[in-house]
Amino acid sequence: MRGGQSLAEALETYLAEWSERTGIAVETWALPATDVPSQVSTGVMTAMSEALSNVELHSSAQTVSIAVTTGRSGLRLTVSDNGQGFPTARAGRGIARMRAAFAEIGGSLSVNSVSGEGTTVTGVVPG
């Protein structure tokens, strides 16, 4: 993240640049309204960039939807695409990197994919 940027600002910038570069539409459902600790922000940005890299390289998606919410229960990241999906048993290094990024900040990450319908990545960091 660039100096002084909030997580929401960093995500907005990153998502706009990614969408422009890839031609894949981004729907932003929610971004955090409060400050997030820098270590958590770094983990979220790492997982987000990895998830979007997977969308770009493997999904054939036309749209990706993003939500990052914070509250008393913690932080939740959701990245959902309308691509082709994949057998989750075939999960590769990118998903391992996303899980590691969330594990480093005390969270967990799951991946749900339906063939022909897309993939949803959900990361949770308890509050």
- Helix, strand, coil share of the chain (percent; to 5): 40, 30, 30
What's the DSSP call for residue 83? S
Q: What is the rounded distance in angstroms from the CA atom of residue 45 to the CA atom of residue 43?
A: 6
Q: What is the pLDDT of residues 106-123, one digit of tens each?
A: 999 999 999 899 999 999
Please check whether residue 2 lies inside any domain of the structure: no
Q: What is the pLDDT of residues 44-69, one digit of tens each?
A: 999 999 999 999 998 999 999 999 99
Please check whether residue 47 lies inside any domain of the structure: yes
Domain that holds residue 99: 7-126
Please check whether residue 1 lies inside any domain of the structure: no
pLDDT reported for residue 13:
96
Question: pTM for this one?
Answer: 0.92
